[in-house]
Amino acid sequence: MASEFLENVLKTLKRGVEVGGFPEELYTMLSKPERILIVKIPVRMDNGKLVVFEGYRVQHNSALGPYKGGIRFHPEVTLEDDIALATLMTLKNSLGGIPYGGGKGAVRVNPKELSMRELEQLSRGYARAIAPLIGEFKDIPAPDVNTNPQIMAWMVDELSKLAGRNVPGTFTAKPVELWGNPVREYATGFGAAVAAREAAEVYLGGIEGKRVAIQGFGNTGQWHAYWLSKMGAKIVAISDTSGTVYDPNGIDVELAMKVKNETKKVINYPKGEKINDPKAALYVDADILGPDAMENQITLENVDKIKAKIIVEGANGPTTPEAEEKLYKKGAIVVPDFLANAGGVIMSYLEWVENIQWYYWGEEETRQKLENIMKNNFHKVNKKYQDMKSEKPEVTMRDAALVLSLERIYKAMKVRGWL
């Protein structure tokens, strides 16, 4: 039986095919990945014991270009969840207008339990294990949950050793010292902030002074909050696994980031009301909500507690299809994940373009390129949403994004002769 997350992604895909009037064979092709690699990664632990970790690389669809998608290290990751994430990457890359197909990777591990040496051995071992299937023109991984630029540095170094030359374009979101771009560190959160700002302009009359709640204060959530605060919004709630901080007068985001990164717990922020429930940030009185943690956070069980008018999905799949339907009936708008959180992969594309040309843009110029792409993509989707809504009032912004995304994939598959 498929995981709930994969079932939800396939439901979404099927709905997009139906709403867009595409032939059923498009769903048949996209409901299965093109290739799945399952690998074992033996690591000699610091205590001398040999532990074998299981890893995956899912290559979902290559009609538009090389596979592209992150690598997550998580103790509860499953192959089916990885398939779901790779499917979302296909949709996200197509909607973003970039020349990539979709892929995703994972290792079932709790990286917090590893020493730095063990983490490095695991990272290098995973890179070696998937090496036959990846490359700068085949499949370009990047970080995801619990992975970071340092892990990408170890991986690109391992691939460079195997290739006998530097291969910077094989991984993205690398440290600046290894052909990375400084914008990549905050690109996903920045892109989500741009999407939130543009949605606020259309549906709330502007971003200035609007109250924002962020659930999940990892990389995406931190930068989502940071850039929205810079754009004039008021961050009233933030949360992580330690709990929720709520302050209707506004949270000092830079202080909260400092506290989180130094103590690992957002609940140690010195001001505001502390709530033990990490999901409490979803329910506070806010204009905009950023579910930036994990999938399946807004469900039928808790959707009635959501007060925000605009939900900007920084995480992948945080809203179940049934919950989204109820949100729209309440008059809310959901800016879907594969539009809202595409800043990371779009920035990865820009970094990759730099790498394969051995060329470099400055931070300001790069951020402006990213902002322009995110802004244009939001308005392209919103226009499609308004056009579709005039004929079918029940459609969502996700439906509009799906139709635009699937249209591009369908045309590519059609001209290739796959359909």
Quote the CA–CA distance of 303 and 290 in Å, as a whole number: 14
Virtual CA dihedral for 223, 224, 226, 231, nearest 10 degrees? 140
Quote the CA–CA distance of 263 and 6 in Å, as a whole number: 34
Q: Which residues of 225-244 are buried (b: 16+ CB within 10 A; e: fewer)?
A: bbbbbebebbbbbbbbebbb
Residue 265 near residue 252 (C-beta atoms within 8 A): no
Helices (H), 246-362: 253-263, 321-329, 337-340, 343-357
∠121-122-128 over CA atoms, to 5°?
90
> Taking Cα atoms as reference points, which of 112, 100, 30, 35 lies closest to residue 70?
100
Q: What is the longest distance spanned by two Cα atoms in the chain? A: 65
The residue type at 408 = R
Counts of helices then strands in the chain (DSSP H, E): 13, 12
∠153-95-382 over CA atoms, to 5°?
130
**Residue 204: helix, strand or coil by DSSP?**
coil
DSSP code of residue 171: S
Residue 155 near residue 82 (C-beta atoms within 8 A): no
Locate 408 and state its tokens.
């591009």
> Taking Cα atoms as reference points, which of 309, 308, 304, 301 lies closest to residue 285?
308
> Taking Cα atoms as reference points, which of 382, 379, 408 lies closest to residue 397?
382
Block residue for tokens 């302050």: 247
Locate 360 and state its tokens.
């470099």
Is 104 an annotated catalytic residue?
Answer: yes
> For residue 87, is it left (φ>0), alpha (ψ between -120 and 50) or beta?
alpha
Among residues 11, 14, 92, 104, the one annotated as catalytic is 104
Quote the CA–CA distance of 405 and 409 in Å, as a whole number: 7
What is the set of active-site residues? Answer: 104
